[in-house]
Structure 1
């Protein structure tokens, strides 16, 4: 289906489909003035969307940029005697990576529930300052205990930001606008990953200044940058369309613009319920009982696991080809910049095409091909060939992630369900970090044959899971359409016409 489609009727299929799809089309807006008739011009709507693009998106992208720097700079630190200075081994470093992701997983849903209750302005602002302080002072860690506790604490403080931001974005935009906005949001992550190597190349040369190692300066400077982004967020971020005024009193939208923002969301999905300030047990039950949601979780976990390993070890892998250790940080960024470009292109394709599931399938398959190609390289292959295929493998290792998130989000039937789905989605991404954190181990050096074999298996499984999702969505829509007759009504178990309600078909 090119876009989400509304048909009349109710559904008597699975519990998931009955609860999620059969929503009476009453006024769903968060405000009493929201109805179902468009009363504005196309030019007015475009102007409002552009204003959202200029205010909401850049701030969230900036914070995501800072978060990714703080999460990934330990990989760059490996090229500056980090293991020796701290006093840990490579396998212990992997455990720390797993603990960071475990910390995020532990508090992902609780953090998102708090955000849903108090709003993104207060909760995300608090989080930024907390993880910024941890990121800064991790420069002074020493020993295994200090390293592991710092990694865990950083993950706990960062939990909830990404799904909370995805949920916030979904409240500002319509379904057909969402994939590219998710792509732009993840652009903050991609640019940080790509620029991180270049930044590290410069900062790591500061070793010896004030008696500190280069990796210590890397943590200090990037941690302070995060705290500064927190100041920007608290001062300027408008929050949600229901009350878009920053803590500093900055207001971006007039009453007419706010009316358009709220009503166009109601027109976009008449089956959606209102945005309450709490998540009910029913919302949680519906989400957790969905088999399709769990397949999305599985795809995210298995499909992103190789990318976690690649982003952590790409600099050292490139250095093993015979390149300078510090220069390898900058060289690694080539694939990451290509990945940034692909993420944006993918977001536009997914929105324009409308078939997000098919796009994800194609993108995951391309990643599988390049992973297999690198795995099949002989050990004696030239370093230029190795670098080229590693670059292609890393460039495509997560470019489908943003479109996948929008695919999962737009099939939610209520804001509360969407909030839980986004929390599960990012929990799965961090579970991928836990799994991928042990993909490349010291006993598999220098070629990581076992690690690459596992990566190939993971990507083959990801292709299969994506295909299974497409089949399940198609079958679910077929069941729904079969229940609805040509008059837009269905018959109940007694053969009588059922009440006419709005039903939303799945988007895939």
Structure 2
């Protein structure tokens, strides 16, 4: 069956819909949401063979409400209150697939790798879903966290090397150190989109471990650094090879988790980074004692040891990262991770939560057109600006922490251990702020917490005398760096507001590019001619902090509220038939569709 629309292309969108509705077309038997392509070249909308009668089954047992938010108070006050439902009751939530007239419009494309396990008639209980989720957490999330820890082990070890006089050994100044950070971030930024294009074509399960192995080799090569040139070359190579890694991992996790589950997992994701930083401090404490072994500085052995650790993790990742929930079987894992029943639940619940995840195969590359469309998605630009601005106030104090502690009298080994308290505190503040965001279902105001936290500490650092008491400085710096890191909230926010696999891949990269650009800006705020107090730099950080709190976050929330109201004025006045015609014929995808609402 086909419905002609070529003659109506010249009409505006609303007039087009009304004209289509007036033409009283035959009832649709099905079509994919990803093949609404008639307005971009083809004269007809091809309809997939979906049996509408099979979807018109009893659905009274479906759950209509959204999943309850995570509330940590339940664990404190009454543990039995954590499960306020019958564990054997149906937990399948209602979706568009339970409406015979809409299901076909959201059907996964034929090439979707999990299509054979998708069953809109499938029902599962809370007990089954929670058991599956625990299995995914242990098998997928845990190793993703280990992989992410390997990234942070290698990209943050320069700070630990600073405590062992790497700058003096290589005859570098703090401005050279700033330049090295800038080169690293710029290379990291430039690699984001190319890395995503490669990852989408070959699959993140192949590209992520490949990246890890390559950058571990460069990390170990830093054992032989000889001066400024080799230092800058290694920083550039590390940045280029690590670029795109974080969006790749987030895209991979989205194959297994719903939009309500992902933000909390992303918090755990970044908590693993803090845990890694703590472990790295102890590793540095031990390895830096090797200074003088074979006539080499301790920081050289640090690069070699941490590079070897990453290499082992990278090689193991080739065997620990299956492509999708239905592709866990391999020659080294003949039974796979999931039963057929679990695969059906895993796939069906993901598509019920977000039908757009069935729009692309996990090894399907992005076309130039889809890439350009995602780049031009101005509704994500406010989040890019947030990515650029939010981390600047806290970045220079964190980057210079080890250098500053050494300057005011702490030894190499004291300095490495004194970085641990703020890292531990950051685990709890990040975990708490993410739970709070999901509990109150707010991102804009809650994500502001990071800048609200750092502001008073920046003012206190600005007012310190030229030679402060070393423990007073340590207390203020540690308090500042214990801030609730809101990056996981904002990554999930960007992913949710993208609304489609293709745009989600690109938008995550663009957001991360702006975060790296933020680090480039931040690396130039503390300058050698402003040392050691960095009064001018701290004054700049205070101004940026105030702009973030007073304008940036409130303006972003106001923008998304306005956009949602703008679309609701159109969508809410359309009849059922007009909505069906729109969904059938529109070329809008993801967050460009009239039925999409932005989270804020």
**TM-score, normalization by structure 2:** 0.76
Q: Which has the higher helix share?
A: 1
* 2:460 is aligned with 1:368: no
Contact 1:175 1:410 in 2 (8 A): yes
SS in 1 for 2:448: helix
C-alpha contact 1:107 1:159 (8 A) present in aligned 2? yes
| 2:197 alignment partner, one of 113, 116, 123 | 113
Residue 258 (str. 1) matches residue 343 (str. 2): yes
2:106 to 21, 26, 30: 26
Distance 2:438 2:366 in 1: 29
* Mapping 1:76-475, distance limit 5 Å: 76-245=160-329, 248-249=332-333, 251-270=336-355, 273-276=358-361, 277-379=364-466, 381-396=468-483, 399-463=485-549, 464-475=551-562
| 1:77-103 CA-partner distances (Å, limit 9, x unpaired) | 112121121222221121111111111
User: Per-residue CA shift, 1:311-368, capped at 9, x if unaligned?
Assistant: 3211121233333343122112211111122222223222333222232123332233
Instruction: Report the more deviating stretch, 40-49 or 288-297.
Output: 288-297
- 1: distance between equivalents of 2:434 and 2:305? 32
Structural RMSD (CA)? 2.7
The higher-RCO structure (CA 8 Å, 6+ apart) is 1
Deviation, 1:35, is 4.5
Contact 1:296 1:425 in 2 (8 A): yes
- Range that drifts further, 74-83 or 383-392: 383-392
Structure number with larger C-alpha Rg: 2
Relative to 1, partners in 2 of residues 1:295 and 1:150: Cα closer, same or farther, differing over 3 Å? same
Please state how far the C-alpha of 1:384 moved relative to its aligned partner. Answer: 2.8
Cα distance in 1 between the residues matched to 2:228 and 2:203: 37
2:127 paired with 1:40: no
378 and 22 in structure 1: CA distance in 2 versus 1, 3 angstrom threshold = farther
Equivalences, count: 487
How much does 1:271 deviate?
5.2
CA contact (8 A) 1:239 1:245 kept: no
Contact 2:34 / 2:359 at 8 angstroms: preserved in 1?
Answer: no
Would the alpha carbon gap of residues 245 and 458 (structure 1) be closer, same or farther in structure 2, given more than 3 Å must change? farther
Task: Name the structure 1 match of 2:41.
Answer: none
1:461/1:139 CA distance change after superposition, 3 Å? farther
- What's the offset of the Cα at 1:235? 2.0
**Would you say the 8 A contact 1:120–1:239 is kept in 2?**
yes
Contact 1:484/1:490 (8 A) holds in 2: no
- Judged with a 3 Å threshold, the aligned counterparts in structure 2 of structure 1 residues 474 and 62 are, in CA distance, closer, same or farther, namely same
Query: Which deviates more from structure 2 when the two are superposed, residues 41-50 or residues 272-281?
Result: 272-281
Q: 1:131·1:157 contact (CA, 8 Å) conserved in 2? A: yes
Three-state SS of the structure 1 residue aligned to 2:172 is coil
After superposition, what is the alpha-carbon deviation per residue over 1:252-286, rounded to whole angstroms, capped at 9, x for unaligned? Answer: 11211111111101111245552231223343233
Task: Call closer, same or farther: CA 1:59–1:486 in 2, change over 3 Å.
Answer: same
* Corresponding residue for residue 55 of structure 1: 139
Report how far residue 474 of structure 1 moved: 0.7
Q: Given the two structures, how large is their TM-score scaled by the length of structure 1?
A: 0.89
What does the per-residue CA deviation read over 1:174-197, in whole Å, with 9 as the maximum and x for residues that have no partner?
Answer: 011111111111122222233333
Superposed CA deviations along residues 414-471 of structure 1, whole A, max 9, x for unmatched, are 1111111111122122212212222222221111112212222222232222221111
Unaligned runs of 5+ in 1: 1-9, 13-19
231-240 vs 268-277, greater mean Cα deviation: 268-277
Could you tell me whether the CA contact under 8 Å between 2:393 and 2:451 is conserved in 1?
Answer: no
SS for the counterpart of 1:80 is coil
Distance change >3 Å, CA 178–CA 357, structure 1 → 2: farther
Q: Spell out, residue by residue over 1:199-239, the C-alpha distance to the aligned partner (whole angstroms, 9 max, x if none).
A: 22222111011222110111011000000101221122223
State the SS of the aligned residue for 1:176.
coil
> Measured at CA, do residues 149 and 329 of structure 1 come closer, stay the same or move farther in structure 2, by a change above 3 Å?
same
SS in 2 for 1:483: helix
Q: Residue 490 of structure 1: CA displacement?
A: 9.3
Residues in 2 aligned to 1:86 and 1:507: alpha-carbon distance in whole angstroms: 49
